[in-house]
């Protein structure tokens, strides 16, 4: 075969190969698709004052554009980070995924419960216990939406009694106890975050 014929044959083969790859989406770049299976990944409950991060994921080719909306705030990218500074009933996140090649878009939303606290826990009551007498103590804390309260009464590391609720009635365990330790734990009923406070109460004779 003369050089000219060989060159023409090579060019013909290359042209056929290029057309085939274009038709089947090979070397030229592949077929565009999506977005589909869009979802927001992250927690379902957020607490005021704590930073959180979320991800928006989707099946999409080529890379899609991600737009977040949170209230009146919009941002771009796969990830969203924020921290609430005030209590609101709920927080809704919206992620819109757009494929510039296909012109298609898809939006998904996630509604978050909002909690606050617990904080500023306090135990109110007398400053000492009296043998044979009942003393009432009240535990309070700042929580949203609500807190549950639990008590532990101990002496020298041994648990004497436990109780539930914001109030507790305490009577010294025996006549030999000189001091009792009172612990209140406040737990947010939604986030399950908790704090505690304790009192060391001397026991006096009547």
Is the pLDDT score of 9 beyond 70?
no
- State the pairing for strand pair 105-124/45-47: parallel
Question: What's the confidence (pLDDT) of residue 12?
Answer: 43
**Residues 62-86 pLDDT 10s:** 999 999 999 999 999 999 999 999 9
User: What average pLDDT does the chain have?
Assistant: 88
Given the structure tokens 């990944």, which residue do they identify? 41
Domains, in order of start, for the chain: 29-115 (2.60.40.10), 125-204 (2.60.40.10)
Distance from the Cα of residue 102 to its chain's centroid: 34
Beta-bridge partner residues of 136: 169
**Residues 90-112 pLDDT 10s:** 999 999 999 999 999 999 999 99
Q: Of the ranges 33-42, 48-57, 174-183, which one carries the lowest mean pLDDT score?
A: 174-183
Residue predicted with more confidence, 183 or 26 = 183
Residue predicted with more confidence, 22 or 47 = 47
Sheet containing 79-82: give its strands across. 33-41, 52-61, 79-82
Q: What is the pTM of this model?
A: 0.75
Q: How many other CB atoms are there within 10 angstroms of residue 6's CB atom? A: 10
Is the pLDDT score of 135 beyond 90?
yes
**Residues 23-39 pLDDT 10s:** 333 334 579 999 999 99
Question: What's the confidence (pLDDT) of residue 130?
Answer: 93
Residue predicted with more confidence, 132 or 57 = 57
Is the pLDDT score of 167 beyond 50?
yes
């Amino acid at each position: 075969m003369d050089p000219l014929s060989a060159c023409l044959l090579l060019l013909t083969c290359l042209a056929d190969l290029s057309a085939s790859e274009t038709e089947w989406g090979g070397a030229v770049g592949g077929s565009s698709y999506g977005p589909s299976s869009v979802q927001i990944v992250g927690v379902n409950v957020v607490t005021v004052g704590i930073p959180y991060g979320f991800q928006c994921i989707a099946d999409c080719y080529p890379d899609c554009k991600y737009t977040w909306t949170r209230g009146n705030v919009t941002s771009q990218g796969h990830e969203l980070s924020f921290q609430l500074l005030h209590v609101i009933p709920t927080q809704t996140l919206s992620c819109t995924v757009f494929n510039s090649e296909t012109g298609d878009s898809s939006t998904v939303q996630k509604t978050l419960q909002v909690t606050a606290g617990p904080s500023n826990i306090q135990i109110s009551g007398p400053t000492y216990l009296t043998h044979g007498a009942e003393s009432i103590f009240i535990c309070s804390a700042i929580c949203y939406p609500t807190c549950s309260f639990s008590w532990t009464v101990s002496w020298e590391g041994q648990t004497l009694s436990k109780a539930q609720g914001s109030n507790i009635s305490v009577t010294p365990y025996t006549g030999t106890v000189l001091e009792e330790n009172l612990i209140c734990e406040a737990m947010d009923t939604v986030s399950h975050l908790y704090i505690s406070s304790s009192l060391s109460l001397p026991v006096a004779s009547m």
